Amino acid sequence: MSQIRRAPSGAERRRDAERTQQALLDAALAEFAAKGLAGARVQDIADRAGVNKQLISYYFGGKQGLYDAIVEHWLEQERAMADPAIDLGELTCRYLAVAHDHPDLQQLFLRENLEAELGRIAHEPDDPDLVEFRRRQEAGELAADLDPAFVLLVLQAAVSIGSLFRRDVRRYLGLDPSSEEYRDFAAEQLRRLIRHLGPPPPQQPG
pLDDT digits (tens, 9 = 90+) for 77-112: 888 888 889 999 999 999 999 999 999 998 998 888
Cα atoms found within 13 Å of the Cα of residue 162, Cβ hemisphere only: 27
Is 43 in the same domain as 96?
no
Range of the structural domain that residue 52 is part of: 10-70
**Residue closest to 94 by CA, chosen among 169, 22, 194, 172:** 194
The reported pTM is 0.81
Q: Is pLDDT above 90 for 201?
A: no
Is 104 in the same domain as 59?
no
CATH of the domain at 64: 1.10.10.60
Instruction: Determine, yes or no, domain membership for 91.
Output: yes
Is 22 in the same domain as 124?
no
Q: Is pLDDT above 90 for 38?
A: no
**Confidence band for 43, pLDDT divided at 50, 70 and 90:** very high
Number of domains the chain is built from: 2
Percent above pLDDT 70 for the chain: 90
